[in-house]
Homo-oligomer: A and B are copies of this chain.
């Protein structure tokens, strides 16, 4: 059965976080007169992301991604022995509100919303998602966030809160993501896992993330247009 509701991971799945943030960091460094390997800084910043979320899942007080990004950026810059003025740091945190869609995302989402209810299910808070989706020129039917469960993915309550708010049983929903952990957590609750390959998420260097092929009913697609074809073609 084709899922009525499609929940989308955002960072890496629908938008490219890496190249816009490298551009923003490079520009910030130039303004501040600081030399650095900015691609490494951005990759380390992204690597610091899930551990920061895991602290919240483990019981630390919920903070939004802007706050967590500000804290992890300070850590990563210190690790690279880089100093940036506070205004430039704020600008980089704000950079997560202004990422670029992957080339297929806008058209793919538009096709998918003809026959499905489309919603974000992101660790980004609603204010960030609203800015990001607008900046990137994307359209979802609803924006949902881990914020609404006061937790972060892959905590089960994030997925369950989204389903409850949409009045949707797990068997009528799919989770669309480029990341194994997200799909495993969703599939464990009965959502259909959809893996979108995003081999350039971490740039041209590292090997691409592999689909979690042991998950029952897994759908694997190369982009969101291919997903529309697979579900509705």
Task: List chain A positions with a Cβ less than 8 A from chain B.
Answer: 64, 113, 117, 119, 125-127, 129-131, 133-134, 139, 141-144, 147-148, 165-168
Residues of the B chain whose Cβ atoms lie less than 8 Å from the Cβ of A127:
165-168
Pull 16 A–B residue pairs with CB atoms less than 8 Å apart, ordered by A.
A64-B167, A113-B134, A117-B131, A117-B134, A119-B130, A125-B167, A126-B142, A126-B166, A127-B167, A129-B142, A130-B142, A133-B141, A134-B141, A142-B143, A143-B143, A147-B165
Q: Taking CB as reference atom, which chain B residue is nearest A126?
A: B165
Judge whether A130 and B117 touch: CB under 8 Å.
yes
Residues of the B chain whose Cβ atoms lie less than 8 Å from the Cβ of A130:
117, 119, 141-142, 166
Q: Measured between alpha carbons, how far is A211 from B16 in the docked complex, in Å? A: 47
Q: Measured between alpha carbons, how far is A129 from B113 in the docked complex, in Å? A: 15
CB of A28 to closest CB in B, whole Å: 23
Q: Measured between alpha carbons, how far is A167 from B64 in the docked complex, in Å? A: 10
Residues of the B chain whose Cβ atoms lie less than 8 Å from the Cβ of A134:
113, 117, 141
Q: Taking CB as reference atom, which chain B residue is nearest A117?
A: B130
Q: Taking CB as reference atom, which chain B residue is nearest A144?
A: B126
Q: Measured between alpha carbons, how far is A95 from B168 in the docked complex, in Å? A: 19
Q: Taking CB as reference atom, which chain B residue is nearest A128?
A: B167
Q: Measured between alpha carbons, how far is A117 from B130 in the docked complex, in Å? A: 8
Residues of the B chain whose Cβ atoms lie less than 8 Å from the Cβ of A167:
64, 125, 127
Residues of the B chain whose Cβ atoms lie less than 8 Å from the Cβ of A148:
148, 165
Q: Measured between alpha carbons, how far is A129 from B119 in the docked complex, in Å? A: 13
